[in-house]
Chains A and B, each alone.
Chain A
Amino acid sequence: MIAYVSVGLLGLLALSIPVGIVLFLLGFGIDTFFSNFPLTRGLGNMVWSSSNSATLIAIPFFVLLGEILVRSGVATRTYAALDRWVSWLPGGLVHANVATATMFSATSGSSVATAATVATVAMPQAEKLGYDPKLFSGAIAAGGTLGIMIPPSINLIVYGFLTQSSIPQLFLAGLIPGIALAIGFMAITVIICLIRPDLGGTRRTFPFVQMLRALIDLVPILILFGMIVGSIYAGWATPTEAAAVGVAGSFVIALVFGGVSWSMITQSLTGTVKITSMIMLIVIGASFLNFTLASAGLGRELTEFMTGLGLTPLKTILVVVVLYIVLGFFIETLSLMVVTIPIIVPLVVAQGYDVVWFGILMIVLIEMALITPPVGLNLYVVQGARKSGSLNEVMLGALPYCLTMLAMAFLLIAFPSIALFLPNALQ
């Protein structure tokens, strides 16, 4: 059954059938070949119960929040403000790329939207100030991936939903690794630019008064982030409620900055519906596949399979890491996460690993998938915004950041408390 699912999955995906549909097809296949009961009879109920969810409605809320911020021009202001604060570092504006991406990912929860926003705002500056296009665009593609790690993360909501683990705990666990990655990205930029100063463009300093004034543009986003994350952690609000608060907050910010118009509202709403349905088709398909796999006795088969291999828990994790890197070349974040959860998570948990910790490790690995060719969505997004040069430049530029992520993955394996410290401390 494991072989059937793996081969079937890759084969059907390669035929470019939509990912959500592939998951349903595999579920039908399990029903036909491996189950004694007619599992497809439960299909209607599965579709109903997996979409009738007050937890998952946090997804459209967070998407909407991001759409409102992006479409109202708040990103441009944030970028300009961060430019004032970080451009004195070796690597100058590259840090503004990473920092803006970090701040936006902290509120919007979508990597692609984050990369697109920063790329559109930042690219015109790069040429003007003489930055190396490789490093500059690579940093945007990489910075954008933080969107799925730093809470509120849509991917973590989906992970929590499918593995029935606590979403607030996952959010807590993602905070330190997410910030550590952002700092890691900036550190590697400084190192590269100290070795090769010609890559880093002009370093600039701004008068302190200007820096202070720039803070005004940063404060609203920071407050919004604090409101969302704080209310979840303090236990005042569920992730869904916090997301609703976030929608209202982003609306207020957009109003204050004068970015609200009828067309901006309708575009944000239709954009939200589009992304939500895209995610939900995959989530519902995964729920159905999960259900058929569990009913057909995957758990037992997996345990036997693993005992047969005789791997230690550590070796198992290393195999899993390699698997994600390889699959990450070809499959994208959410799809990669959702199609692997039914098999990989039970396997890892059976080896005694923490399900929340593994969620964070998985997020680091699928973040890498966003910037590894040939299929790395953020690479294409940044290239799309560049309108000149070749895709290879973005790929090369993203490489140092890829290695930083890999280092982060190994750190997480060596020191699980990087992720688990906060959830344990605040429990």
Chain B
Amino acid sequence: MELKMIHGLRVINKGVALVVGFGLLLCAGFVLADIIMRQIGTSFGGTEEIAGYAMALATSWGMSYTLLELGHVRIDLLRSRADSFKRALFDVFSMIVMSGVIVTIAIKAWPVLERSINNGSRANTPLETPLVWVQLPWFAGWVWFAVMTTLTTLAALSLLLKRRHSDTENFVGAFAEQETLQ
């Protein structure tokens, strides 16, 4: 069941990553269009601002895909010397710590959004973007990441308790370097 859930999360987050990727591509196109417009003496204005928002959103929503593809860098020095049971202990421990930190970030991200909602804050720029528009999806991205890390941790923990520790390697292990190279 745990592995099925992880597979499901992977499929969903790959879709999310694709959306984020196309968003980045769109943003690159937008920046490019602005450069061209500048050459003919005009400009969209606010490209920098929009690029910044795109980066914030891409970051918060891309994190979960990286998590499930084992992309977040870990130092594999002691862990790689342990047997598969101890490796699973390392992995589950680091996932528990990670979930704690990410959940904290998601909680602390809320006041940022809350303030923008309460004050109706707008960006201090020519576009005067209402910050809620960008901070709401940004906050949602971190909540999504918090939920994903927690679910992944629970799946690994559950497998560990069932003594199926070798099954955890494939979704909370240290590296998937070989796959990324193909």
Contact = CB atoms under 8 A, between A and B. Distances in A.
Interface of A: 13-21, 24-25, 28, 40-41, 43-45, 47-48, 51-54, 56-57, 60-61, 64, 116, 120, 236-237, 240-241, 243-245, 247-248, 266, 268-278, 280-282, 284, 330-332, 334-335, 374-375, 377, 380-381, 384-385
B171 interface: no
A17 B21 contact: no
Contacts of B21: 64, 266, 268-270, 272-273
Interface string B1-44: 00000000000001001101110110111011011000000000
Contacts of A25: 97, 101
Contacts of A20: 72-73
A27 to B, nearest CB: 10
Given A21-B97, A375-B75, A244 B32 contact: yes
B133 interface: no
Q: B interface, by DSSP: helix, strand, loop or mixed? A: helix
Interface of B: 14, 17-18, 20-22, 24-25, 27-29, 31-32, 34-35, 47-49, 51-56, 58-60, 62-63, 65-66, 69, 71-79, 90-91, 93-94, 97-98, 101-102, 104-105, 108-112, 134-135, 138, 142, 174, 177-178, 180-181
B78 A24 contact: no
B78 to A, nearest CB: 5
A247 B69 CA distance: 24
16 contacts: A17-B74, A19-B75, A48-B112, A48-B138, A57-B24, A57-B52, A60-B58, A61-B24, A244-B27, A247-B32, A268-B21, A271-B180, A276-B59, A277-B63, A384-B181, A385-B181
B101 A269 contact: no
A274 B65 CA distance: 7
A100 B132 CA distance: 47
Residue among B48, B73, B77 facing the most chain A CB atoms (10 A cut-off) = B73
Contact of A53 (B14, B32, B52): B52
Contact of B59 (A64, A280, A334): A280
Contact of A273 (B32, B66, B76, B104): B66
Q: A interface, by DSSP: helix, strand, loop or mixed? A: helix
A245 B32 contact: yes
A274 B94 contact: no
A296 to B, nearest CB: 18
A241 B35 contact: yes
Nearest to A270: B17
Given A241-B35, A281-B63, A375-B76, A61 B28 contact: yes
Contact of A54 (B29, B49, B91, B177): B49
Contacts of B180: 271, 274
A269 B24 CA distance: 9
Contact of B97 (A14, A17, A53): A17
A332 B98 contact: no
Contacts of B65: 270, 273-274, 277
Given A15-B90, A278-B72, A335-B75, A44 B109 contact: yes
B51 A14 contact: no
B51 A54 contact: yes
B58 A276 contact: yes
Nearest to A329: B77
Residue among A15, A64, A273, A374 facing the most chain B CB atoms (10 A cut-off) = A273
A344 to B, nearest CB: 18
B25 to A, nearest CB: 7
Contact of B35 (A15, A245, A282, A332): A245
Contacts of B104: 24, 28, 40, 43
A66 to B, nearest CB: 13
A47 B109 contact: yes
A57 B74 contact: no
A57 B94 contact: no
A48 to B, nearest CB: 5
A416 to B, nearest CB: 31
Residue among A14, A21, A330 facing the most chain B CB atoms (10 A cut-off) = A21
Nearest to B134: A52
